[in-house]
Amino acid sequence: MNEEKKTVATEEGALSVKRLTFWEAAMIIVGANIGSGILGLAYSTRKAGWPILLLWLILAGVCTTASMLYVAETTLRTKKPMQLPGLARRYVGTAGAVLAFISVCANSIGCMIAYTQGSGNILSQLLGVSNTVGSLIFTIPAVIVVWFGLKATGIAEKFVSTGMIVLILVLILFSFLSSKSNVSQAIYTNWTYAVPVFNVVIFSYIAQYAVPELARGLRHDASKLPKAVTVGMVITGILLALVPLAVISLTGPDNVTQVATLAWGQALGTWAFYVANLFALCAMMTSYWAVGGSMLTNIVDMFKCKSEHDFKTRLIAIVCVVLPPFILAYSGLVSFVDAIYLAGTFGGVIMSVLPALMLNGARKSGDMEPQWKCGWYSSKAAQAVIIVLFCSAAIYAILNLFGVLPSGW
């Protein structure tokens, strides 16, 4: 049976195979993660303190990376390129496909509400236009890259994410060298507000949905997939820890803005205001590409469309990706940090359970033996720990919505 599985060739379905390099794949992970989450972490951490944030970044980072690698092995056991709903339908059933699609949509729309609001806020201050016009200036070029597909996204992510990392490291360096910086302003703990920070951290590690895209792009050398995921997540974790530390050390917890770069840039001076907000726009742009592209192909996969390259299919999918978050962003119903908090909480629960179920199903009935398999972290005990952790955070969020527990910010 194993020999038969090894000879099964991969095949194309509605989703075509486009090659990615290792660095393009890793930068898609970084680009997807380093978006609105990193810009909201300092604000959401200001009551709890940076040490609590660091603890959650490590814990959630390890758990999320493990669940991403579950998805990676599942894709490597499947000969036809599929997104999460397709994989869930194949290995969990129709209910799994529906839950996966709901999770993708909830997270994607939550992300894109935050990108739309954040970009509008920043461009309003930089260009003197209204927030709505600022959001349109941001959204139009972002959608163009999504329209051209996975390879265009990979190339754009590689260059823009690399430049973004350079910008952020410059800002962090000058923040710690500034005479205004005082690290002790960030080194405090208040456990009363700890759990809400965990939920925002879950959102900051949002790239689970990009794993099937990476698998599609690395099918020519599938052994690179887990390495690309791990490298991308390590880079993400380091940046997610350093940015809030630099911001709170410089501005103090009481002066942090919801979009951190606004206060951060003002504290360092005029040059930094522009550099910080250029970084913020790059961060949201790279995330928009990754999240928007993933949601588009998930729509194609979920509704079993003939091909992602069909003009009518792609146009309808793009409209579904772009319009709902834009409308909700200016409905007055959802704030920037609340959007990432709610998306991270409920999407995180589904994405803690489904990858484990998909992996277990793929190991029983997959098409082929993979070039790589998950290690000890895929044991039943490890899977249970991840599920309990994320579900507990969701229970807190539900109680918080009803005012039973304290808000984090």
**Do 205 and 236 touch, CB atoms closer than 8 A?**
yes
pLDDT of residue 145: 94
Per-residue DSSP letter, 205: S
**Do 351 and 66 touch, CB atoms closer than 8 A?**
no
* Whole-prediction pTM: 0.83
Helical packing angle, 311-329 and 94-127, nearest 10°: 60
Give the whole-angstrom CA distance, residue 177 versus residue 344: 33
Give the whole-angstrom CA distance, residue 226 versus residue 241: 23
Count CB atoms within 10 A of the CB of residue 236.
27
Give the whole-angstrom CA distance, residue 89 versus residue 275: 45
**Domains of the chain, start order:** 12-401 (1.20.1740.10)
Q: List the Cα angle 115/262/199 in 5-degree steps.
A: 50
pLDDT of residue 4: 39
**Do 349 and 136 touch, CB atoms closer than 8 A?**
no
From first to last of the 409 residues of the chain, give the pLDDT tens digit. Answer: 344 344 344 555 555 556 889 998 998 899 888 876 788 899 999 999 999 999 999 999 999 999 999 999 999 999 988 888 999 999 999 999 998 898 888 778 888 888 898 899 989 989 999 999 999 999 999 999 999 988 888 899 889 988 999 999 999 999 999 999 999 999 999 998 888 888 788 878 878 888 988 988 898 888 899 999 999 999 999 999 999 999 999 999 999 988 788 889 889 988 998 998 898 899 889 889 988 988 998 898 888 787 778 899 999 999 999 998 899 888 877 666 666 666 666 777 788 889 999 999 999 999 999 989 999 999 999 999 999 988 887 787 778 767 776 666 6
pLDDT of residue 7: 36
What lies within 8 Å, CB to CB, of 166 at 6+ separation is none
Instruction: Enter the tokens of residue 363.
Output: 């190991």
pLDDT of residue 6: 40
Give the whole-angstrom CA distance, residue 295 versus residue 129: 29
**Do 143 and 292 touch, CB atoms closer than 8 A?**
yes
Q: What is the dihedral of CA 63, 66, 67, 71, to 10 degrees?
A: 170
